[in-house]
Amino acid sequence: MELANKKVLVVGLGGRGRAACLLLRQQGAHVVGVDENDTASLRTNTAPLKADGIEIRLAAKTVPSREFDLAVIIPAVPPQSDLYRDVVNRGIPMIGELELGFRLASCLSLAITGTNGKSTTASLVETILLGAHRRTLTAGHRARPICSIVDRTKELDHLILQVKVQQLELIEFFRPAVAVMLNLANDHLDRYSSADDHVRTLARVFMNQQAFDWAIVQSEAGERLKALKVNVPSKLITFSAADNKADIYLDRGLIVSRVPNWEGPIFDTAQCSLRGPHNAENLMAAFAVCRALRVPLELMVEAVKGFAPLEHRFQIVAEAKGVRYVNDSKATNIDAVLQALRTAQPAPGGKPNIWLIAGGRGKGLDYHGAGPLLTDRVKGVFLIGEEAENLRAAWGLFTPCTPVGSLLEAVSEAARHASKGDVVLLSPACSSFDQFRDYQHRGEVFCQAIKTICGGASDASPNINGGKSKPA
């Protein structure tokens, strides 16, 4: 990709946008970065870009009137925004930051996408490959944008990419050698016109694959793709915790393969600390990826035995006075909440024992489908944020719902009501941006609240001291 002396516009100056600006400047491009916001933190974070010769325009509503050879759009910028529309109306060629980083990277790319489980699966794959002495790095997520690590790819065997649906909107040549589709649940319906539109966008991860590439697809997701007539041109391995006809499936806690020349039991999920059918599927996907990359099974098994759950993903923060506190702040859609409710330790006799904390900024989702499971598992819900009233309207018939003013108040009330054998679960079903920087910040506030409430308890888990489990 020849960028020297090209005039390039970057739309969106969050972490991914700033990384794209710097990469383009390193390639010799003349870069202008624009953002519709103008905050103190944004001014501070973009100051180094100005020092590097990058022109920055904040509080921008239109694109500068000069000519541009290319526009790089950051996934946080929605197609409905003024800046996005102005780029389209001006006819400026557009790509996403994922496409930019991919074109300039120098090693084999593996892509992991789907609605839930991307971070855990990527971390599992990275753990296995590092254990097999493969030079590997995970990128693509907000903490490590692909554009920030392009120089490092010259020294890597594999680049694992966590790919959000928004990043796939503006790909052109992006082609992972191994692409994983974990699951397809409704999400981001505030951005997409329908659930099918959301699925078709996710399926773009396969569009440039060739017959000798690999697609690792959850069986139920695969059926959805077939119904939408989505073509997957690569070699296919299916997996499922519910469908025993899949190539890799779950049989009473045992992961079993019928992949040719790899038949038989692979792993007993009781040997690691990941719990729940959704985590079994994350393990299956990771094993399938590493099988495609010819990693011996014994190295896979050894690597995942010591794998700890990531922060903010059904992370057990503490257990005090017989009450377990769980941080599942990453659960930003209803399917993730259902997974958490199914995974939580049940009470004797199957009675409801969960005090759920939910709410935040909504994403256009329908919450009613959670009703039956709420009745079975949840004693009560404490609701926070902008979506509190919508959640109460959807869930109030199934379990007591109480709106509260803050996350700290929700934790305090849940702890006051909880009794021995109960679970206090933060699993919000919403994004965090109404009250917090991101889901990590929300989870940290939850962990700090638990530390304040349970810090002196004799049976409190050491994880309450910062809420650390394993770096995300």
Q: What is the DSSP string of 331-398?
A: --SHHHHHHHHHHSPPPGGG---EEEEEESB--S---GGGHHHHHHHEEEEEEESTTHHHHHHHHTTT
The pLDDT-based confidence of 1 (bands split at 50, 70, 90) is confident
Bridge partners (DSSP) listed for residue 384: 359
Give pLDDT, residue 465.
35
Give pLDDT, residue 454.
80
Helix (H, G, I), strand (E, B) or coil at 20: helix
DSSP 9: E
Using alpha carbons, select from 319, 325, 253 the residue that is nearest to residue 284. 253
Structural element, H or E, at residue 98: helix 97-104
DSSP string, 46-74: HHHHHHTT-EEE-S-SS--SS--SEEEE-
What dihedral angle (degrees, nearest 10) is formed by the CA atoms of 378, 383, 389, 395?
-10
Burial of 39 (0-12, 13-18, 19+ CB in 10 A): exposed
Stretch 21-33: mean pLDDT: 98
DSSP 379: E
β pairing state of 378-384 and 354-359: parallel
Sign (positive or negative) of CA dihedral 246, 252, 257, 263: negative
Tokens in use for 103? Answer: 């074109």
The model's pLDDT over 230-247, given as tens digits with 9 standing for 90+, comes to 999 999 999 999 999 999
Long-range contacts of 257-266 (CB under 8 A, 24+ apart): 257/287, 259/288, 259/291, 262/291, 262/297, 266/297, 266/300, 266/301
The model's pLDDT over 317-358, given as tens digits with 9 standing for 90+, comes to 999 999 999 999 999 999 899 989 998 989 888 899 999 999
Fold entry, domain 104-305: UDP-N-acetylmuramoyl-L-alanine:D-glutamate ligase (3.40.1190)
The amino acid present at 470, given as its one-letter code, is: K
Tokens in use for 278? Answer: 């959704």
The CA distance from 466 to 199, in Å, is 37
Using alpha carbons, select from 324, 314, 346 the residue that is nearest to residue 450. 324
Stretch 402-428: mean pLDDT: 96
- pLDDT above 90 as % of the chain: 84
Bridge partners (DSSP) listed for residue 57: 34
Least confident of 187-201, 245-259, 352-366: 187-201
Strands (E) across 289-377 are located at 315-320, 323-327, 354-359
What is the gyration radius of the CA atoms in the chain, in angstroms?
Answer: 23
Helix (H, G, I), strand (E, B) or coil at 159: strand
Indicate the domain borders of the chain.
7-92, 104-305, 315-464
The CA distance from 53 to 453, in Å, is 49
The model's pTM is 0.82
Longest CA–CA span in the chain (Å) reads: 70
Burial of 197 (0-12, 13-18, 19+ CB in 10 A): middle
Structural element, H or E, at residue 160: strand 158-162
The model's pLDDT over 280-298, given as tens digits with 9 standing for 90+, comes to 999 999 999 999 999 999 9
Tokens in use for 128? Answer: 């296995």
The CA distance from 203 to 187, in Å, is 14
Output the CATH code of domain 7-92: 3.40.50.720
The CA distance from 318 to 330, in Å, is 18
The model's pLDDT over 74-86, given as tens digits with 9 standing for 90+, comes to 999 999 999 999 9
Give pLDDT, residue 44.
96
Give pLDDT, residue 190.
83
Output the CATH code of domain 315-464: 3.90.190.20
- pLDDT above 70 as % of the chain: 96
Residue pair 74/81 in contact (Cβ under 8 Å)? The answer is: no
The model's pLDDT over 87-143, given as tens digits with 9 standing for 90+, comes to 999 999 999 999 999 999 999 999 999 998 999 999 999 999 999 999 999 999 888
Three-state SS for 194-263 is: CHHHHHHHHHHHHCCCCCCCEEEEEHHHHHHHHHCCCCCCCEEEEEECCCCCCCEEEECCEEEECCCCCC
The pLDDT-based confidence of 433 (bands split at 50, 70, 90) is confident
Give pLDDT, residue 472.
34
Q: Same CATH topology for 7-92 and 104-305?
A: no
Using alpha carbons, select from 235, 134, 119 the residue that is nearest to residue 179. 235
Using alpha carbons, select from 353, 407, 348 the residue that is nearest to residue 380. 353
The amino acid present at 257, given as its one-letter code, is: S
Q: Which residues contact 192 (CB under 8 A, 6 or more apart)?
A: 198, 201
The CA distance from 424 to 76, in Å, is 32
The amino acid present at 10, given as its one-letter code, is: V
Q: How much of the chain is helix, strand and coil, in % rounded to 5?
A: 40, 20, 40
The pLDDT-based confidence of 308 (bands split at 50, 70, 90) is confident
Give the side-chain half-sphere CA count within 13 A for 159. Answer: 30
Residue pair 236/263 in contact (Cβ under 8 Å)? The answer is: no
